[in-house]
Structure 1
Amino acid sequence: MSRISALVVARNEEARLPACLASLAQADEIVVVLDRSTDRSAEIARAQGHRVVEGAWSLEGDRRNAGIDACGGDWILEVDADETVPPELWAEIRRVTAASPHAFHRVRIDNHVGERLIRWGWAGSFGTTLKPILFRRGAKRWRPQRVHPGLDWTGTEGERITAHGIHHALDRDISDMLRRLDRYSSAKAADMLAEGRIGSLPDNLRRFVSRFFKSLIGRGGWREGGWGLLLAFCTGLFPLLSHLKARLEPERHRPE
């Protein structure tokens, strides 16, 4: 039977980490990567006998690669501290890893804002309902970027695991969603400045419109009513706001 490592990447998540770790109990190994954490996260993980990797990474891609390198399983399931894996999904994961000839599989993500499950409208870089988080060791590498880093793969993609999904406590409420938009766009502005490519205002205005309608119409956000409208707005605004931050306030967002 293939050994599965569960990888959790977190920062100051002592409130949500216990539930996340409990949901990963069926893994053969749990590795917790803590980036500049100052709370009890390390104590919580070590008390349960899990491997803890602590450090300070300015790039999300580097932080996640450090966690991948620390895993010893044949397969890796990569989750965040605000995610929990239900038992039904573990049965699917075991079934797939026992027979799959492929390098990675996408897993369904059930995104919640507060207690509300929002199934429709996720698009672009603001949220997704499928993530390639189950993969063979050595198949996945993150690129050195701050927010939503790109991925490099070795091997082919297998079946999508969609019968059951990971519970993702994405945002606590609307204000939390808007704060996330602010954080993401600041990190993206830093990446754009570091790469020397901030784009143009007309191009990003077009991206705002195309992403807005992709979320609202193409991805079915209209089914969610006002929540879908809000999600479409945030999805469209993310690249435009990132561009404006890089263009208008480069001194605040340029990496050191």
Structure 2
Amino acid sequence: MNRISALVVARNEEERLPGCLASLAPADEIVVVLDRSMDGSAAIARAQAHRLLEGGWALEGERRNAGIEACTGDWILEVDADEQVPPALWAEIRRITASSPHAFHRVRIDNYVGQRLILGGWAGSFGTTLKPILFRRGAKRWRPQRVHPGLDWTGSEGERITAHGIHHALDRDISDMLRRLDRYSSAKAADMLAEGRIGSLPDNLRRFVSRFFKSLIGRGGWREGGWGVLLAFCTGLFPLLSHLKARLEPEKHRPG
């Protein structure tokens, strides 16, 4: 039987880490990477995980790659501390990994704001309902970026796992969603400045409009009522706000 490593990369997640790790108990190995954590996350990881890697990484891609390299399983399931894997999904994962000839599979993500499951409207870099988080060891590598880094793959994509989804406690409430938008756009501004490509204001205004309507109409956000409008606004604003931070306040966001 193929061994599965569950990988969690986190920072200061003592509140949500216990539930996440408990949901990963069916894995053959649990690996936790803690990035500059100052709370009780390390003690929780030592009690529930098989391996703990602590350090400081400026780039999200680098710390995720460090975690992948620390895994020893044939397959890796990469989740975040605010995610939990239900038993029914584990059954699907075991079924897939037992016979799949492919390098990776996308898994359904059920995004919650507080206690509300929001199905429609996820688009762009602000949220997704499918993520390529189940993969063979050696098939996936993250690019060196701060937020939503790109991926390089070796091998083919297999069937999507959609019968059951990961429970993703994405935001606690509307204020938490807006704080996430602020964090994401600051990190994206730093990436843009590091790469020397901040784009133009007209292009990013067009992105705001196109992503707003893609979220609201194309991805079914209109079915969520006011929540869909809010999600579409954040989805469209992310690239525009990132551009404005890089353009108007480069001294605050330029990497040191």
TM more than 0.5: yes
TM-score of the two chains, using structure 2 as the length reference: 0.99
Aligned residues: 256
Cross-structure match for 1:184: 184
Give the gaps of 5 or more residues in structure 1.
none
Q: Could you give the per-residue CA deviations for residues 78-105 of structure 1, whole angstroms, max 9, x where no partner exists? A: 0000000000000000000000000000
Whole-angstrom CA distance in 2 between matches of 1:49 and 1:218: 40
Q: Could you give the per-residue CA deviations for residues 125-147 of structure 1, whole angstroms, max 9, x where no partner exists? A: 00000000000000000000000
Aligned partner of 1:31: which letter? Answer: V
Give the gaps of 5 or more residues in structure 2.
none
Task: Indicate the SS of the match to 1:93.
Answer: helix
Aligned partner of 2:36: which letter? Answer: R
Cross-structure match for 1:173: 173
The alpha-carbon deviation at position 49 of structure 1 amounts to 4.8
2:158 equivalent to 1:120: no
Whole-angstrom CA distance in 1 between matches of 2:131 and 2:204: 25
Cross-structure match for 2:164: 164
Cross-structure match for 2:131: 131
Cross-structure match for 1:145: 145
Task: Indicate the SS of the match to 1:31.
Answer: strand
Task: Indicate the SS of the match to 1:144.
Answer: coil
Aligned partner of 2:141: which letter? Answer: R
Aligned partner of 1:213: which letter? Answer: F
2:21 equivalent to 1:21: yes
Aligned partner of 1:30: which letter? Answer: I
Whole-angstrom CA distance in 2 between matches of 1:191 and 1:104: 27
Whole-angstrom CA distance in 2 between matches of 1:47 and 1:137: 25
Whole-angstrom CA distance in 1 between matches of 2:45 and 2:101: 32
Whole-angstrom CA distance in 1 between matches of 2:165 and 2:24: 14
Cross-structure match for 1:199: 199
Q: Could you give the per-residue CA deviations for residues 157-214 of structure 1, whole angstroms, max 9, x where no partner exists? A: 0000000000000000000000000000000000000000000000000000000000
The alpha-carbon deviation at position 48 of structure 1 amounts to 2.7
Whole-angstrom CA distance in 1 between matches of 2:49 and 2:220: 43
Task: Indicate the SS of the match to 1:184.
Answer: helix
- The 3 A distance-change label for structure 1 pair 49 and 133 is closer
The alpha-carbon deviation at position 42 of structure 1 amounts to 1.0
Whole-angstrom CA distance in 1 between matches of 2:126 and 2:4: 28
2:213 equivalent to 1:213: yes
1:225-236 maps to which residues of 2 (within 5 A)?
Answer: 225-236=225-236
Task: Indicate the SS of the match to 2:46.
Answer: helix
Give the RMSD, CA atoms, in angstroms: 0.5
The alpha-carbon deviation at position 50 of structure 1 amounts to 2.1
Task: Indicate the SS of the match to 2:236.
Answer: helix
